Amino acid sequence: MKSLKFAIFSILFLFIGGNYAFASHVSGGNISYVYTGLPNTYTFTLSLYRDCSGAAAPTQNGSAAPNLNFSSDCGGFKLEAAPNFLVEEISAVDTSQCPGTTVCQGGNIPGMQLYQYQVTVTLDPPCDAWTVSYTLNARNGSVNSNGGSFYVETILNTSSFPTNSSPSLQWTANNGFDPIPYGCINSPKFYALNVVELDGDSLVFSLINPQSGPGNLIPFSSPAYTVGAPIPLMNLDPNTGLMSFTANIAGNYVVTILIEEFDVNGNLIGSMMHDFQFVVEICTNNSPVAPNSVVNYSSINTNANLDTINNIISMCAGDAFCFDLTFTDPDGDEIQLYSNVLDILPNATFTTNSTSLDTITGTVCWTYQPGYSGSIINITANELICIPGSATFSIELDIPPALNLSPDDSICGNQTAQILASGQGPLTWSVLSGDPMVIGGNFSCQNCTNPVATPTITTTYLLEDASSCFLTDTVTIKVADNYGDIHADIFTPDTSICLWDCVDVDGFAEEDYTGSYTYPWSPTCNTFYAAGQQNARCSLFVVAQGGLPTILPGSIAEVCITITQGNVNDIDVYLNAPGGFGQFPLTLSNGGTSSNYNNTCFRVGATTPISGPSGFAPFPTPLGGWLPDGGPLETALVGAPVQGFWSIEVDHNNATNSPGTISSWTIEFIEPFSFPIAASFFAWDNQDGMPATSSIDPTVCPQVGGQYVLTAYNIDYCFTTDTININLHPLPDAGNDTTVQVCLETGMIDLFDYLGGTPLNVGTWEDVNGNPVNPLINSNNVLDSLPYLYVAESVNGCLDSAYLTVDIIEVIIDNTTTLDASCFTFCDGEITTISSNATHYGIDNGPLVTVNVFDSLCQGIYDMQAYYELPDGAFCSANAPGITIGEPDKLIIDSYIATGSNGNELVVTNPHLPNANYSITLCKENKLTSSAVGLGGNPAGIYAFNWYMDNNFAGSGTPFIAQSNQDGQAYVVLNDGICPADTAFYSILHPADLVPVLKTSANGCIDLDVQFTDNTVQVPGVNYSITWEISNGHSLYIGQNLSGNQALNYTFYDAGIYDVTMILKSSDACVYTTQYPSEIEAYGPPKVAFTPSPSQISVYEPMANMVNLTSGGLDNSYAWKFGSLSSLPNGTDEFEPTISYPDGIPGKYPIELTATNDKNCSATAYGELQIINDVNIFAPNAFTPEGNNYNDNWRVFISGIDIYDFKLTIYNRYGEIVWQSYDSEATWNGTYGNNGEYVLDGTYPWIVTAKDAIDDTVYEFKGAVNILK
């Protein structure tokens, strides 16, 4: 049977490979993330399922890594993901059962690969909706969608759920999960996603539209496919994600699942879009059949409950379950079971048992343990064939999540503690020990998740939830006093010093720490027996690690014992102090048969008495520990030495000989000790003059003095302080060390006046050698650049001193240089003052400047000064008088001449006369020749003449030739490259512009009479002549002194397109031309011709055909005229009609043919049809004129003649006329002459002349007649 399937699949692979081989490659994928433990930092994984028959995946063959896009209301960025860290083949085939290998391995069986890419990102700041997405234009084709790019996204809330990790789809080679599942057409399919949820959150599965981008929904290919059923009749379990369907069309089907996370309170945490494809092949296999429900369910004597309708197991910590599932295969194929149970449930078991190849049972068992990573168990049956069919059964675990209570915390004084918690059911807070709870006072709320606590003493809070599992947890808030066990001491007393002196401060910071030390004892101690009331004592030696000499109240924090016993009902257990100080009863007369103390602990603060209502063996330690029978553990053995041998003693009062054993015991002491506080936990608030602020013994050289505060902190930021006051004696002010500059010319000076600052004039002066100096001294006698020392002393003995150095300044002007003004009246002359030590310069005792070059000087004589600026703003000076600046003559245009090509000339000899107005009149086409003469300017300059016309630059040089086109100001500019240019103006005047405008009737048939009309806009006072030049060589001319609206007519006899040039010549001899290309078109008519066929017809057959010989023209139409006697009416439009006339009417009948072309141009041809009058004549050749009335007469029978123009003459053989008649019907009786004598027998010639009855044709007929008697 399997061999047959192999053959079928081998054929189908070839067929499907031809129809479903896509150029793209992405068959599915998703984005998941895991919280790293660092604030707002997550590792994101992009999973892509690649069709091996498609294109390469990102990073494959060296391509770029994919980009994940991060966006939110808080800002977005795009980040390149790391290269792929995992490539696995995930083909849903069993290659061991196939005749070949997959496409991924070089074969032809459909194959898929999993590519995964990872990147770690810090999403800062936290936001309630980060969207992480990926887009790739490489989606595999499918039968149920219209294509589009591949797009997936995952949404996370880093503000409300900063430590959450998303669900993920876990694939391993042995868990039976196929990310891209295969199946056969028309075969039922059951498929589940192998989802792992590390946080234990609730998951909801739903179907959504596939997308090609954010919000860009991909439409389905037909109404048969919908969002709720992308494969017809598809069902999705929203709780487990189990899908079922039966596909009846082969191909790829896109399915997109939205997986949403909810916390225990129903709040949405985030979502993940999982986009993948079902591959439906053309094959005949039937998939295995999954059971409808589990069987043999057992809760193993726990409270684990099975909901058989919804397949949900509800359980709590400590619960357990087992169940069976049996799968069968309808084709008899061998099947195997796979499950994710071992991946998600710690220490679960999954076993299988096959009763036959096609029937297999799986058994799942699990006892609750924390650390489970999923709540949906999937069991999948796969066939052992090439493309295996599969069936999946899913069951959901309903386990209330842990309370997730925040860890213990510490506060100081009036600080507050923020407690964080979560739970499935309603939460209730209470105090287990410590400060009583006051809702709204020291505790913000009793039934909330995140209360704020402000206890005044160390307090332990109990949290209980009302879920089905009734979970509890505790949190302790330790409260420390600000000054509790911290010491900050400054041993140096308050002091006073002079400014700039220093003091060594002796500081000290220490913390008294209460340490917790546990001393365990082992191995098993002495056995004790009831017989003889023998007791047992197990001792251990304690060293006081914190130096605590004796037990104080609360020093013994905890005592834990493990004691096994036989048939002993009552025992007494004591704690014995060293040196026989005494013993403290832990438990008295407690215990029972075979009842053990298993790590039974007595604790400080316990409230549950071990001998009270709960005091029955065994003795599991309650929350908070046991209260000893001897009273609170805080009061035990106070005053006893700490160091020495401590022991547990067991006594009994039962005579039964039953042994018992002290297996182990521990004692925990709370011992105080002190240690120096590190630099990070103390601080000086005043750091004035304190270079080593991290030192506890700093050297302080204050500049201000005052109080210095040392603050010491503990790890809970409790603190204490100590202070030292350092008072500063001010120094007597001797001023500041100063270097001054004094002008040589100053004279007497007082050194004290030059000290910096505000010195007291109570000190002494000395020179560099220590000799006393009189501060009143002449500037010429000052020790140049050598220091003088001034010393002052205060009443407190504080000394201050200052040095004064005097530099004597002498200003010297070494030289001056000049540069004359470049042009007439130009103020650009320069004087440069050269001095070796001047800082400022002046001219004519004007303002001081820092540059030594004075420019912008006009022609004239100047005095120059050099200065040296002293620090106090005073100046030392020197003077150089009588420095001269010159200038050249002014640059001017002396004259210019302008000559027009029409003969006009303008000569200007003084261009700059006031109110002068020079002008020249030119036609537009005239050229103007201009030249000019210049004078003056800078000797180093080169003259350049620039000409401007119509306000535009026209050219350079002299003479200069240019053409002017419009009225305007013309001018020439003379420039020598240095001095200001000179300009001479004149006006160019043009006669008013004439623009020739022609008005014509432009188009028509030949013999086209066109009126040429002048529509030129008239200019007052301007006359002109008009010439119209036609492109056929003809010209029309209207003479001079016209003023518009003139017209001439011209007839175009020849067909063609004609250009017209209109030329106006004004009285100023200016010529204006306008071209009118293709202005006139004369259309030619058709060339009409015809001929009747035949051209002559008989009156007896008056019918002829018209042969149309017309040529030329487009879309010609025709009209014939044949006269009123014709068989066709006038206007007949046939191309070649046939015409007939009435019989027997000879004559010439006129015919006209008119042809009209598409331009409506017509021509007519004329002709005629001649109907000839057939002239027929018959004359007998003999008769017998005997008077017997038989053949006595002879006549000529003739037709077709004009009877009024007829003549018959008969001759004898001598040429004599025998008989003559003008009647065409007359008869001859053979007689001759007036007396009627018969002529002799013989032959008589005859001649007939007659005219045609239709025309003037003259016929002559000859013959002879014989007379017989």
472-480 and 409-412 as β-strands: parallel, antiparallel, unpaired? Answer: parallel
Using alpha carbons, select from 943, 921, 923, 918 the residue that is nearest to residue 933: 943
CATH number for the domain running over 998-1083: 2.60.40.10
Q: Give the tokens for residue 634.
A: 């805080």
Q: Using an 8 Å Cβ cutoff, are 422 and 458 in contact?
A: no
Q: Give the tokens for residue 488.
A: 């900050």
Burial of 1039 (0-12, 13-18, 19+ CB in 10 A): exposed
Q: Give the tokens for residue 797.
A: 């003995």
Classify residue 696 by its DSSP letter: S
pLDDT at 902: 65
**CATH fold match for the domains 513-675 and 740-809:** no
Determine the 3-state secondary structure of 527 from DSSP.
strand
364 has which bridge partners?
Answer: 323, 350
Whole-angstrom distance, CA of residue 919 vs CA of residue 905: 9
Classify residue 780 by its DSSP letter: G
CATH number for the domain running over 486-511+677-729: 2.60.40.10
Neighbour-count burial for 927-941, b at 16+ CB within 10 Å, e otherwise = ebebbbebebbbeeb
pLDDT at 543: 64
Residue 803 backbone phi and psi in degrees, to 5: -100, 140
Residue 124 backbone phi and psi in degrees, to 5: -130, 130
Would you identify the CATH topology of the domain 513-675? Answer: Jelly Rolls (2.60.120)
Domain ranges of the chain: 2-398, 409-480, 486-511+677-729, 513-675, 740-809, 814-885, 892-989, 998-1083, 1090-1172, 1176-1267
Q: Give the tokens for residue 874.
A: 């005073």
Whole-angstrom distance, CA of residue 1257 vs CA of residue 296: 141
CATH number for the domain running over 740-809: 2.60.40
Residue with tokens 């993330």: 33
Q: Using an 8 Å Cβ cutoff, are 541 and 645 in contact?
A: yes
Class of CATH domain 409-480: mainly beta
State the 10-residue block means of pLDDT for the chain, 1269 residues long.
33 32 71 90 92 82 82 78 75 81 86 90 88 91 88 93 90 75 88 84 93 92 90 91 91 95 87 94 87 93 91 89 95 91 90 93 92 84 87 89 79 80 82 92 90 90 84 85 68 90 88 68 57 58 69 87 68 86 86 68 86 61 84 91 85 61 81 60 83 86 89 74 90 88 88 87 87 89 87 85 90 92 90 92 92 92 92 88 91 84 77 81 78 87 86 84 77 88 84 76 83 83 84 84 74 89 80 87 90 84 88 86 80 87 78 90 89 84 87 90 91 91 92 86 94 84 91
User: How does pLDDT run across 629-675, given as a tens digit for each residue?
Assistant: 899 998 999 999 888 888 888 876 554 555 667 778 888 887 765 65
Cα dihedral 851, 852, 855, 860, rounded to 10, equals 140
pLDDT at 1028: 87
Would you identify the CATH topology of the domain 892-989? Answer: Immunoglobulin-like (2.60.40)
DSSP characters over 1069-1132: S-EEEEEEEEEEEEEPPPB--EEEESSEEETTB-EEEEEE--BS-SS-EEEEE--TTSSS-TTB
pLDDT at 654: 57
197 CB-near residues (< 8 Å, 6+ apart): 167, 203, 261, 373, 374, 375
Pick the CATH number of 1176-1267 from 3.40.640.10, 3.30.300.10, 2.60.40.1220, 2.60.34.10: 2.60.40.1220
Q: Give the tokens for residue 914.
A: 């006031």
Would you identify the CATH topology of the domain 1090-1172? Answer: Immunoglobulin-like (2.60.40)
What amino acid is encoded at 142 in this protein? S
769 CB-near residues (< 8 Å, 6+ apart): none
Whole-angstrom distance, CA of residue 550 vs CA of residue 544: 9
312-314 and 390-398 as β-strands: parallel, antiparallel, unpaired? Answer: parallel
Residues in the chain: 1269
Query: Does the model's pTM come out above 0.75?
Result: no
Give Rg (Cα) of the chain: 67
